[in-house]
Amino acid sequence: MEGNSSEQLNAPLWEPIATGTADDVHRYDKLGSTSPRPFSGKSLSSIATDPTTIYGGEMDSESGVISDSSAKSSSQSSQDSTLTTLVLGIIIYFSSGGGPFGMEPSLKAAGNLYAIIGFAAMTFVWALPEAVMTYELSSLYPCSSGGVRWVEEAFGTTCGLFTGYLGWISGVTNNATAPVLFFSYLHSHFFPDSSDTDIQWIQFGISAGIATVLVYINYRGLEVVGKASVLVFFVSIAPFVLMTIIGISKVDPQKWLQTPTGEEEIFDDDTMTQPGWVPDTILGGIALRPFINNLYWNFNGFDQGSHFSNEVPKRTLRNGLCLSVLLVSTTTIIPILIATGATDIEQADWKAGTFALAGAEIGGRWLGTLIVVASGISLLATFISGMSADSLQLQGMADRGQLPSIFRSRSPHDTPTYALILGLFVVVLMLPLPFGFIVELSNFSYCISIIIEFLAFAQLRIRRGDGTMLRKTVYALLLIAPMLFNIAVLMLASYATYIYGACASALGALLILTTVSDSSSL
């Protein structure tokens, strides 16, 4: 590749320097690894049941190898794409924030003022840096495998495969939050006087039943994709728009300034009772572990936009990422401002599902019921698409010889039968756990994988990059806040989470080393 022109070197900071793709810089002949879970956190997938759409190439039916040379070029895919900025933005929105559902533990952990500050700051601390990284590297390396390709370019195939594995662990763990959170909304609105202990087996039974039915929907091949995600978005956010319209005249700004009571609360999910490496997670009255984990869970996932980088033009990708950041920011901060300013709900009373009570207090029981219905539509659609993405990843890995051949089995509906069964098994195992603990487990795996992606960004765009010193300095400064936040998530984890992460990582490392060893012996 010839040296960059002065025009390239002086390109605006929001535009990638390279005018071509990674194929112009370094030939990427074989993808050599599985993609990460196409969507982590709260997600909507538009990945079809063809595993080649995950890997970005054409699969040989005998060898299982996906050739990059036979994949569509980025420009051709962009011309054929039907994804608009609105559709792409909403899909990325669901793979990151996905609305205000599940934000309530932050209010209990930190009180009104610090929760408001926390959600407002996350736009700049996390959302923007992750979106910039995604746009920059996706523009240079357009491929539906997303972050795995970045990591492979920076650190090699083995590291890329491990990153993808951690993404799958995070995704399949996070799938369990959807039925648990939906039941929390049902519990808060319809059975507010029943304790968690009284209905824990009912909760498990209903949640397991919901999960089983939704996995069967996946088995039948039904997905929430494309323009359907736009409909789900407007349905899920409509009750909060009504709550804002009705409640804005009832807001008392003084309530926004309420700080933590200073008392160490026992959370509904018992997150404070789990010992960890950091002995005291109370700082200034803020329960750091549930607070940090809830903020993180509600904002991570913007890197999943990279999976559409070879399907849409760069302009659409950039605008879609910007739209998703705007949507996530507004649909978190506005409901919190209205719910805290227009109700008399005390800090100790906030828990997952309390937004339904806030809606009922502001507009009447009908509004609370609408919020419960909206949570069901949004969360259950998220579960369907998330489970679909996870199972497709296992199927793709098996097709390439990286997992036992049983996971290559397809149902009569051309869906990955045993991969779905494994996903359901993991979800059912997670269902008895508290919502906050499931979030922490999911965050831990995602945190490690995104750290590797940020390091790949530093390697490819700062250390190896051909930009100006100013551009590299801006990139370096951009990484400071999210990397510190990642370190906080890891340090605040409980010992139980460390054990879970260590076991999952050890299993992944064993599978990867076995795969690499078998491949090298062929």
On the question of pLDDT at 408 being above 70, the answer is yes
On the question of pLDDT at 273 being above 60, the answer is yes
Closest CA to 327 of 102, 107, 131, 37: 131
pLDDT at 271 (0 to 100): 57
CA atoms within 13 A on the CB side of 17: 21
CB 446 within 8 A of CB 141: no
**% of residues, the chain, pLDDT over 90:** 33
pLDDT at 29 (0 to 100): 31
CA atoms within 13 A on the CB side of 363: 21
Q: Mean pLDDT across the stretch 429-436?
A: 87
How far, in Å, are 114, 261, 283, 348 from residue 110 at the CA level?
Answer: 6, 9, 10, 10
Q: Mean pLDDT across the stretch 369-393?
A: 82
Q: Would you state the structure tokens that stand for residue 236, as one six-digit string?
A: 């899920």
509 confidence band (pLDDT: 50, 70, 90): confident
Reported as a single tens digit per residue, the pLDDT across 310-329 is: 778 999 999 999 999 999 99
Lowest mean pLDDT among 64-73, 118-127, 186-195, 337-346: 64-73
CB 42 within 8 A of CB 94: yes
Q: In sequence order, which residues have a C-beta less than 8 Å from that of residue 216 and are 6 or more positions away?
A: none
Q: Mean pLDDT across the stretch 466-481?
A: 90
401 confidence band (pLDDT: 50, 70, 90): low
Q: Mean pLDDT across the stretch 371-386?
A: 84
CB 410 within 8 A of CB 423: no
Q: Whole-model pTM?
A: 0.81
On the question of pLDDT at 256 being above 80, the answer is yes
How far, in Å, are 3, 304, 454 from residue 18 at the CA level?
Answer: 10, 22, 19
| 59 beta partners | 66
Q: Does domain 10-63+77-521 have CATH number 1.10.10.10?
A: no
| Residue boundaries of the structural domains of the chain | 10-63+77-521
How much is the mean pLDDT over the chain? 78
What is the rounded radius of gyration, in angstroms, for the C-alpha atoms of the chain?
A: 22
Residue 276 to residue 498: CA distance in whole angstroms: 9
Beta-strand runs (E) in 230-334: 282-283, 286-287
Residue 356 to residue 197: CA distance in whole angstroms: 21
